[in-house]
Amino acid sequence: MSTSLRTILKVAALTAALCCFPTLAALAQEPVTIQISIQNHQFHPREIRGPANVPIILRIKNEDGTAMEFESVSLRVEKVVAAKSEGIVRLRALAPGRYEFFDDFHQETRGIFVIQ
Amino acid sequence: MLRRSKIIFQLELICLALLIESITPAIAQGQSTFYEIETKYIFGFTEGSGIGLEGEQEFSPDSVISVGKRNGSYITSQTKLKYEFTPNQFIQFELGPIVSSHHIRNVTDLDDVNRISFGGGFIEFRYLLLDRPASPLAVTIAIEPEWHRTDETSGQYIQNFGLETRINADLEIVPKRLFFGFNLLYEPETSRDATDVWTNESTVGGSAALSYRIFPSVVLGAEVWYLRHYETIGLSQFTGDAVYVGPNIYVQLNNKMFVTAAWNAQISGREVGEPGKFDLTDFSRQRIKLKFAFEF
């Protein structure tokens, strides 16, 4: 194996390790739990609020007779929740701001998560 | 050979026709509201900062077609059959095999080649360093070890190992409508040819791109790339540089499928020891990127 190839492999391994470190640190914080439900293809409440810089556990209760997919580009999550059941989404510590979310199976079903 | 080139161009025209046809229903279905959009693929060859959504998986054939050298007929492609997944809200992985095609005839310093083959494999790690709304600028670092069994330029059988390293960044200039993206690239490579001789090379460069969302499901943009090539991994033996410019389009076909296309032409460049205003040894005259993605 050439020296250049060994160098390339070492840089790749080191970078991958450095990338994983802050992820593990963020996951170690104590989370806050927030609940939301979906009924008749509407989120209840449509606007939810949560604290900034703290990991959040979002419990999504689907009271409809069909499955839904909780999805958000800015929250960077998607989760299928079966009919008449509950899904759990773990969110990283978020910066203050407004985060859109929606049901990917019924795209008109939308809500806002306000982080303060 | 001429017939084969015609077939390739016909295939490209078919792809273009399919793309145009796909835009029509996408526009028709477009809602009046512009919601949040993933920025990773809206800038053409320039990649945005997006890393996908936790729990999301995607499969996509992602082709880069290089066309044109100083003389002769030159059409090559590298198609990555990508499987992407995002295990958490910070990291994305991409991996898969590479399919190479080379159709080279009467090009100076290159042997005639006419083949489609298994070209190698790759794995990419993407880590989101900065994200909106915490920062107006979203930044991702991407590291992509690659292995090639055919030389991307010449199509000859070799053993090539590369490490494409990128900074992918983007800025939301007008919320959900106008985006500015830029990349920094450094790609060291080492190759062993048929005579067991190892050689090194590297490419370094950067890009800037502007993309505007004309409909909720359609983004149009343009980008400029500047690339420099060296015969060492330490950037010490400069061989040439190139400036590429071109347009791109992104179309969200439905909530699980999208297609992107980009075309870049070399508008300026220089090659050490060669007259002319392009570097057509290290880079092609034109390059085309086509990607069709299916999320699940």
Answer yes or no: is pLDDT of B27 > 70: no
Q: Give bridge partners of residue B87 from the DSSP assignment.
A: none
Q: Residue A21: phi, psi to the nearest 5?
A: -60, -55
Give the model's confidence band at A8: pLDDT under 50 very low, under 70 low, under 90 confident, else very high: low
CATH topology of domain B2-33+42-295: Porin (2.40.160)
Position B1 scores a pLDDT of: 43
Contact B208, B185 (CB under 8 A): no
Nearest-CB residue to B89 (from A4, A92, A110): A92
Nearest-angstrom CA–CA distance, A69 and A103: 5
SS3 label, residue B102: strand
Residues whose CB falls within 8 Å of the CB of residue B6, separated by 6 or more in sequence, listed in order: none
* CATH number of the structural domain A32-115: 2.60.40.420
Interchain CB contacts (distance < 8 Å): A and B: 88
Which stretch of B1-5, B12-16, B292-296 has the lowest confidence by average pLDDT? B1-5
Nearest-angstrom CA–CA distance, B172 and B1: 46
What average pLDDT score do residues B141-166 get? Answer: 95
Q: How far apart are the first and last CA of chain A?
A: 53
Min Cα separation A63/chain B (Å): 22
- Residues of chain A with a CB closer than 8 angstroms to some CB in chain B: 2, 4-5, 7-9, 11-12, 15-16, 19-20, 22-23, 26-27, 71-79, 91-92, 95-98, 100, 102, 104, 107, 110
Of B225, B229, B150, the closest CA to residue B191 belongs to: B150
Which stretch of A25-29, A80-84, B218-222 has the lowest confidence by average pLDDT? A25-29
What average pLDDT score do residues B108-114 get? Answer: 93
Average pLDDT, chain A: 86
Residue owning tokens 């929606």: A102
Share of chain B above pLDDT 90, in %: 80
Position A4 scores a pLDDT of: 58
How many helices and strands, by DSSP H and E, does chain B display? 1, 12
Cβ-Cβ contacts under 8 Å, B88 against chain A? 23, 27, 92
Q: Do B89 and A75 touch (CB under 8 A)?
A: yes
Average pLDDT, chain B: 90
Position B31 scores a pLDDT of: 47
Position A113 scores a pLDDT of: 96
Nearest-angstrom CA–CA distance, B198 and B232: 11
What sign results for the dihedral spanned by CA atoms B140, B141, B145, B146? positive
Q: Do A8 and B125 touch (CB under 8 A)?
A: no
Cβ-Cβ contacts under 8 Å, A19 against chain B? 90-91, 125, 127, 141
Cβ-Cβ contacts under 8 Å, A98 against chain B? 133
Residues whose CB falls within 8 Å of the CB of residue B114, separated by 6 or more in sequence, listed in order: B1, B4, B102, B103, B104, B105
What number of CA atoms fall less than 13 Å from residue B288's CA on the CB side?
15
Residue ranges of domains in chain A:
1-29, 32-115
Position B14 scores a pLDDT of: 60
Nearest chain A residue (CA) to B54 = A77
The pTM of the full predicted model, rounded to 2 decimals, is 0.85
**Which ipTM value was assigned to this complex?**
0.78
The whole-angstrom distance between residue B78's C-alpha and the CA centroid of its chain comes to 10
Residue owning tokens 């030159």: B74
Q: pLDDT tens across A32-60, in order? A: 999 999 999 999 999 999 999 999 999 99
Nearest-angstrom CA–CA distance, B123 and B145: 6
